[in-house]
A and B are shown apart, each in its own frame.
Chain A
Amino acid sequence: MTTVAQQPQAAASVGAEAWLRMYRQMISIRLFEEQVNDLYTRALMPGLAHLYIGEEAVAVGVCQALRPDDYITSTHRGHGHCLAKGASPDRMFAELLGKEAGYCRGKGGSMHIADPATGNLGANAIVAGSVGIATGAAFSAKRLGNGRVCVCFFGEGALGQGSLYEVMNLAQLWKLPVIYVCENNLYNEYTHFSETTAGDIMGRATAFGIPAESVDGQDVRAVYRAASQLIERARLGNGPAFLVCNTYRYHGHHVGDINREYYRSKEEEQRWKAEHDPLKLLSRWLAEQGLAAPADLERIHSEVKKEIEAAVNFAIAAPYPSPDEVEQDIYA
Chain B
Amino acid sequence: MPEKGRELTFAQAIREALAEEMRRDPLVCIIGEDVAEAGTPFKVLSGLVEEFGKERVIDTPISEAGFTGLGVGAAMTGLHPVVDIMFGDFITLTMDQMVNQAAKVHYMSGGAWKVPMVMRTTLGATRRSAAQHSQSLHAWFSHVPGLKVVLPSTPYDAKGLLKTAIRDQNPVVFFEDKMMYKLKGPVPEEDYTIPFGVADVKREGEDITLVATSSMVQVALGAAAMLEESGVSAEVIDPRTTWPLDEKTLVESAKKTSRVIVLDEGYGRYGVTAELAAVIAEGAFYDLDAPVRRMGAMHVPIPFSPPLEDVTVATEQSVFEAARRLCGKS
Contact = CB atoms under 8 A, between A and B. Distances in A.
A162 B310 CA distance: 35
A327 B303 CA distance: 10
Main secondary structure of the interface of B (DSSP, over half): loop
A157 B129 contact: no
Interface of A: 46-48, 98-99, 104-112, 124-129, 157-162, 188-191, 195-197, 262-263, 320-323, 325-327, 330
Nearest to B299: A330
B218 interface: no
B303 A106 contact: yes
A330 B306 contact: no
Contacts of B304: 46-47, 98, 104, 106-110, 112
B249 interface: no
B274 to A, nearest CB: 19
B1 interface: no
Contacts of A326: 298, 300, 303, 308, 311-312
B308 A321 contact: yes
Interface residues of B, number: 35
Contacts of A128: 62
Contacts of B111: none
Nearest to B130: A109
Given A157-B61, A160-B63, A323-B307, 15 more contacts: A98-B304, A106-B304, A107-B130, A107-B304, A108-B304, A110-B304, A126-B93, A127-B62, A129-B132, A161-B93, A162-B65, A188-B62, A263-B38, A320-B305, A326-B311
B89 interface: yes
Contacts of A107: 130-131, 301, 303-305, 308
Interface in B13-61: 33-34, 37-38, 41, 59-61
B62 A161 contact: yes
Contacts, number: 122
Interface string B195-233: 000000000000000000000000000000000000000
Pairs of residues from A and B, 4 with the lowest C-beta to C-beta distance, nearest first: A109-B304, A98-B305, A106-B305, A160-B61
B38 A48 contact: no
Contact of A262 (B38, B41, B129, B132): B38
Main secondary structure of the interface of A (DSSP, over half): loop
A48 B304 CA distance: 11
A323 B308 contact: yes
B269 to A, nearest CB: 12
Contact of B130 (A112, A190, A263): A112
A190 B38 contact: yes
Contacts of A112: 130-132, 304
Contacts of B300: 326-327, 330
Interface in B79-119: 89-90, 93
A320 B41 contact: no
B133 interface: yes
B182 interface: no
Contact of A126 (B132, B305, B310): B132
Given A47-B128, A323-B311, A109 B38 contact: no
Contacts of A47: 127-130, 304
B85 to A, nearest CB: 12
A158 B62 CA distance: 7
Contacts of B310: 323
A326 to B, nearest CB: 5
B34 A191 contact: yes
B66 interface: yes
15 contacts: A46-B305, A47-B129, A110-B130, A125-B131, A127-B62, A161-B63, A188-B61, A189-B38, A190-B34, A196-B59, A320-B305, A322-B307, A326-B300, A326-B311, A330-B300
Nearest to A263: B37
